[in-house]
Amino acid sequence: MARFHRLLRIDLQAQSSTIEEIPAHFEKMFLGGKGLATAYFVNEVPPGIDPLGPENKFIVATGPLNGTIAPASSRFEIVTKSPLTGIYLDCNSGGHFGQDLKAAGFDLLILEKSSDKPVLLYIDNDNVSFIDASLIWGKKVYETEKLVRELIEAPEIRVLSIGPAGENLVRFASLSNDFSRNAARGGSGAVFGSKKVKALAVRGSCDIPVADLKALRKSSEKAKTVIFNNPWVEGQRKYGTVRSVGIVNELGFLPVNNFTDGVVPSVESINEISYEKSIGKILSCGECPVACSKGYSRHGVQMEGPEFETVGLFGPNLGVMDPDEIARFNLSCNQYGMDTITAGSMLGALLDTEIFTEKNGRKVDIIEDLLKKTATRTGVGNLLAEGPVQVGEHFKIMDKMPQIKGLGFPAYDPRVSYGTSLAYMTADRGACHLRSWPVGREFGGMWAEDDIEGRVEFVKNQQDEKAAEESLIVCQFVYGIGLLDEILAELLSVSTGENWTLADMKTAGERCWTLSRLFSCREGISRKDDYLPEKFSNEGIRKGPLKGKLMSRKIQDIMLDKYYSLRGWDENGVPGEELIKRLGLEEWVHD
């Protein structure tokens, strides 16, 4: 129950679809969502394929709690091979799209092969339509979503779409739903574009088969109590993620001038109080009691956001302290369909050189021009569209390019702590702050300054737990990162009628994490790819309370040795046979 045990497989070349049953033992091993999608992906995608070729597969997953009354359970997961990094990629988004896909009667959707011409997919419960999208190809994201509803003559449908960046195969193109919601990291939008899918529209009207609705109502109320007893939630509800700007600046690990300085003298122009003046409305994902998203409305710019990552990377990182200009960059990325994190971190490295200076015009105009050229692959934008690694190599600035495995840094300087550095270094999709977040505990004194082992153990465990959380799927802003309360196991058990403990869920997360590493190792990833760029090991933060702090290569090696050993990986970061056997993953290991 709470599962349909069904997978919708769409052949884009043949314009056909089939419905398959998901084996029960897959669900027990991988829980759902990210885990289940990863299991299918690793099993079905052969080694060495072109991420932008027809052999790549694109999987959209719902979780067992999607579509139920469980709080903050509306997110959906995407799994594919990244055209930016060339390895495993998952990303997720909120809003309402995931609930409708689940209500259409599916736990998984797999897109295979490629269409010969632009196509709009429309899923209406079991019915799949292939609609010519030639007339909307070339449109920006917001107009696309409106036009899709007009074409289908159904204003209530949910839409997942790409903009010009996805059509032009920009390697960090994003996918958008509910206009401003984005599954942005790693180039999922470019994979859509390579398959000639302009948009995926969904309408679902199936009842979600909950095992014990009365118990779920009771558990959902308990969950709300857990949520609102978390002191972090109140500020998140009032201001959203942008409230972190002041905190991160005060602690000294804000990205400033391409991760050179850790602070700016004042963040008053770009903090939560500043952006509060521009809030037009409060917005919420489905079934969320927190409603942390803010509707920006000022000077003709209307959207959700900006979020902290965008403010940090398009603000201090680029030397821009005008909140309206940052919002304008955010809107441009939303409309083109591009990841603001990779775009902002990559542009920071470029603007830190003599390549683009204010001799070429006002900085804000240069940034806007580069975003447009990137999305359309015109001029230098054709290079920028290839992503941080190609740009770094071309301009000979790889040592300063803030990326790991090709994925641009989030808006936190990893030199802040051992744990943050390790979390970036070992995240499954490349540099990521959403797999583990130890820095709060580090500042809180959870470990002694020299306790590296404690930090390594925490990062490893939280990564496994977060994989499980993204298999449910619930939002970390509401429940925190990982499996922090028994209520999550309770919600899962009463919804499905299955017996789950937090330990069972964590093991499912470990299976998912191990499979993603196995896939990436198959694609050539090893220890050599698990390091910070040279700048972060050789140069200290230049200003602020963390002035002089760096993360030496020696420390990185110590952390990797301990991390690999704890995970059961060999010295090169490859999962070992004993681990694979313990987790029951033998059938996913290909010679």
Residue 4 has pLDDT above 70, yes or no: yes
Alpha-carbon distance of 252 to 416, in angstroms, equals 8
Instruction: Write down the pLDDT at residue 399.
Output: 97
| The pairing of beta strand 6-11 with beta strand 197-203 | unpaired
133 part of a folded domain: yes
Specify if 419 maps to a domain.
no
pLDDT tens for each residue of 477-496: 899 999 999 999 999 999 99
Contact between 186 and 429 (Cβ < 8 Å): yes
Per DSSP (E only), the strands in 389-482 are 403-404, 407-408
* Per-residue tokens: 58: 């694109």
The per-residue pLDDT for range 329-366, each reduced to its tens digit, is: 999 999 999 999 999 999 999 999 888 776 667 899 99
Number of Cβ within 10 Å of residue 88's Cβ equals 28
Does residue 585 lie within any of the structural domains? Answer: no
- 339 within domain boundaries: no
Q: How far apart are CA 328 and CA 320, in angstroms?
A: 12
Position 284 scores a pLDDT of: 87
Which helix or strand (DSSP H or E) is residue 16 part of? strand 16-21
Contact of 367 with 318, CB cutoff 8 Å: yes
Among residues 235, 236, 262, which one has the least CA distance to residue 249?
Answer: 262
**Would you call 386 helix, strand, or coil by DSSP?**
coil
Does residue 216 fall inside a structural domain?
no
Average pLDDT, the chain: 96
Q: What is the pLDDT of residue 176?
A: 97
In the chain, the percentage of residues whose pLDDT exceeds 70 is: 99
Report yes or no on 23 lying in a domain: yes
| pLDDT exceeds cutoff 80 at 591 | no
End-to-end CA distance of the chain: 36
Note the pLDDT tens digit of each residue in 447-484.
999 999 999 999 999 999 999 999 999 999 899 999 99
Do you know the residue count of the chain?
Answer: 591
Higher-scoring residue by pLDDT: 281, 525 = 525
Give the whole-angstrom CA distance, residue 227 versus residue 142. Answer: 33
Mean pLDDT (whole number) for 108-127: 98
Q: Each residue of 228-273: pLDDT tens digit?
A: 998 888 888 888 899 999 999 999 999 999 999 999 999 999 999 9
Q: Residue 135 and residue 208: Cα distance in Å, rounded?
A: 35
- Residue 71: give the domain boundaries: 6-203
* 147-161, 220-234, 523-537: segment of lowest average pLDDT: 220-234
Of 531, 573, 560, whose CA–CA distance to 403 is shortest?
531
Distance CA 405, CA 431 (A): 7
pLDDT for position 1: 73
Give me the sheet containing 6-11, strands edge to edge: 16-21, 6-11, 108-112, 58-61, 76-81, 88-93
Return d(Cα 562, Cα 409) in angstroms, integer.
23
Rounded-to-integer distance, Cα 388 and Cα 341, Å: 11
Residue type for position 420: T
> What is the pairing mode between strands 119-124 and 181-183?
unpaired
Q: Measured in whole angstroms, how far is the alpha carbon of residue 561 from the centre of its chain?
A: 27
Eight-class DSSP state of 131: E
Work out how many domains the chain is built from and give that number.
Answer: 1
Please list, in sequence order, all residues whose beta carbon lies within 8 angstroms of the beta carbon of residue 51, skipping any fewer than 6 positions away. 80, 81, 82, 83, 86, 187, 190, 191, 194
If we measure between CA atoms, which residue out of 339, 329, 449 comes closest to residue 388?
339
Residue 181 lies in a domain: yes
* CA–CA distance, 59 with 20 (Å, rounded to integer): 14
Beta strands in 420-483 (DSSP E): none
Are 181 and 95 within 8 A, CB to CB? yes
Which structure tokens are listed for 397?
């600035």
561: exposed, middle or buried (Cβ count in 10 Å: 0-12, 13-18, 19+) = middle
> What CATH number does the domain containing 115 carry?
3.60.9.10
Mean pLDDT within 202-224: 96
The model carries a pTM of: 0.97
Find, among 222, 211, 341, 208, the residue nearest to 286 by Cα. Answer: 208
8 Å CB contact between 102 and 204: yes
Question: In the structure, what pLDDT confidence band is assigned to residue 295 with cuts at 50, 70 and 90?
Answer: confident
Amino acid at site 422: L
Pairing outcome for strands 58-61 and 88-93: unpaired
User: Residue 491's pLDDT is what?
Assistant: 98
Which backbone phi and psi does 251 adopt, to 5 degrees? Answer: -80, -15
Q: Give domain status of residue 159, yes or no.
A: yes
Across the beta sheet with 197-203, the strand order is: 127-132, 119-124, 197-203, 158-161, 175-177, 181-183
Residue 199 has pLDDT above 90, yes or no: yes
- The sheet carrying 293-298 orders its strands as 279-283, 293-298, 301-304
User: In this structure, what are the phi and psi dihedrals at residue 218, rounded to the nearest 5 degrees?
Assistant: -65, -45
Q: Is 368 helix (H, G, I), strand (E, B) or coil?
A: helix
Instruction: Tell me the residue ranges of DSSP E strands in 343-474.
Output: 403-404, 407-408
Beta bridge partners of residue 407, listed in sequence order: 404
CA dist., res. 420 & res. 432, Å (int): 10
